[in-house]
């Protein structure tokens, strides 16, 4: 089994913080860029197209649709709470949110623009010229575009989930069924991978430990070319997971119930009953937090 640890596996689930440190002068500009389809080659796709902030921070599709109706080959992860992930993308190829920005813009299926082309396009817009000049001494550059979008994405956190309130000692914050589901989540071993403040997102693991998962994507292997990295992916966060179907990197699971069953079989190597799945799903539903004000389009 290939496991690459970003933080201690024994760390319990922790409540999300109420706020994060961000440069709030840059956030409104990053928000405009995040929602602007002109950052794509045909003017139809924005960051928000695949990361719909009213749909859990993803697009609800098995594979996202980019420029000219092109379909991708991997399930879009949520942008909510991405700031707490130790790496970005399923294969972890971006070390932080700023590095992640370049990926979708320059992907020929997603937005199909080079960052240089993006800068040239933005320089033709007086509003952006003025906004960048007000915030950045060197105006519109590739680094500054990525920086502004990343600062906005940092603010997309969803605190105060019922389970967060439960962790803080609020009686009645979650149902008895959800509480029993959390105990099962722990005792069955789910918490080994899904822990910490983001209930995941803090290390890599192989998909298909106890049973071949028949993944068409090779995961980390595409980056490292090491045999042991085949089918290794960043463990996803389970925050707001009730809002982000379908599941897995290839969108194979249509419901949470199906996802829990798949994970118990392939990752834990054990059978769990329908009643146990129902309780675990109740726990997972308690991880849905409050959407931030910055999620609203200006």
Task: Determine if residue 50 is labeled as part of a ligand binding site.
Answer: yes
List active site positions: 110
Task: Determine if residue 47 is labeled as part of a ligand binding site.
Answer: yes
Handedness of CA 172, 170, 289, 281 (dihedral sign): negative
- With 0-12 / 13-18 / 19 or more C-beta atoms within 10 angstroms meaning exposed / middle / buried, residue 10 is exposed
Handedness of CA 151, 104, 83, 243 (dihedral sign): positive
Distance CA 136, CA 138 (A): 5
Handedness of CA 207, 211, 217, 220 (dihedral sign): positive
CA 163 to chain centre: 19
- With 0-12 / 13-18 / 19 or more C-beta atoms within 10 angstroms meaning exposed / middle / buried, residue 267 is buried
Task: Determine if residue 38 is labeled as part of a ligand binding site.
Answer: no
Distance CA 109, CA 104 (A): 8
Of 90, 96, 86, 87, whose CA–CA distance to 76 is shortest? 90
Task: Determine if residue 1 is labeled as part of a ligand binding site.
Answer: no
Tally of CA atoms within 13 A in the half-sphere of 178 that contains its CB = 18
Task: Determine if residue 51 is labeled as part of a ligand binding site.
Answer: yes
- List residues forming the annotated binding site: 47, 50-51, 190, 193-194, 263
- Please give the annotated binding residues for heme c, written as ranges: 47, 50-51, 190, 193-194, 263
């Amino acid at each position: 089994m290939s496991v690459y640890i970003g933080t201690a596996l024994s760390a319990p689930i922790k409540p999300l913080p109420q706020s994060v440190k961000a440069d709030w002068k840059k956030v409104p500009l990053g928000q405009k860029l995040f929602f602007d389809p002109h950052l794509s080659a045909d003017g139809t796709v924005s960051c928000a197209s695949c990361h719909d902030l009213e749909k859990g921070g993803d697009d609800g599709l098995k594979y996202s649709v980019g420029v000219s109706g092109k379909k991708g080959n991997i399930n879009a992860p949520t942008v909510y709470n991405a700031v707490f992930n130790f790496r970005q993308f399923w294969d972890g190829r971006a070390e932080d949110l700023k590095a992640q920005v370049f990926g979708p813009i320059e992907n020929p299926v997603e937005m199909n623009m080079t960052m240089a082309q993006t800068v040239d396009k933005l320089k033709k817009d007086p509003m952006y010229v003025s906004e960048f000049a007000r915030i950045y001494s060197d105006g519109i550059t590739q680094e500054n575009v990525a920086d502004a979008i990343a600062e906005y994405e940092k603010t997309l956190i969803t605190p105060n989930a019922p389970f967060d309130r439960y962790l803080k000692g609020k009686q009645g914050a979650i149902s008895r069924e959800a509480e029993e589901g959390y105990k099962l989540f722990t005792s069955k071993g789910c918490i080994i991978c899904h822990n910490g403040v983001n209930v995941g997102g803090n290390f890599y693991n192989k998909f298909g430990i106890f049973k071949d998962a028949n993944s068409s994507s090779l995961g980390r292997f595409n980056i490292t070319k090491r045999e042991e990295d085949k089918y290794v992916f960043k463990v996803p966060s389970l925050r707001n997971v009730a809002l982000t179907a379908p599941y897995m990197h290839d969108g194979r699971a249509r419901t949470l119930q199906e996802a829990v069953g798949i994970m118990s079989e392939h990752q834990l190597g054990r059978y769990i009953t329908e009643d146990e799945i129902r309780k675990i799903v109740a726990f997972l539903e308690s991880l849905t937090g409050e959407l931030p004000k910055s999620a609203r389009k200006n």
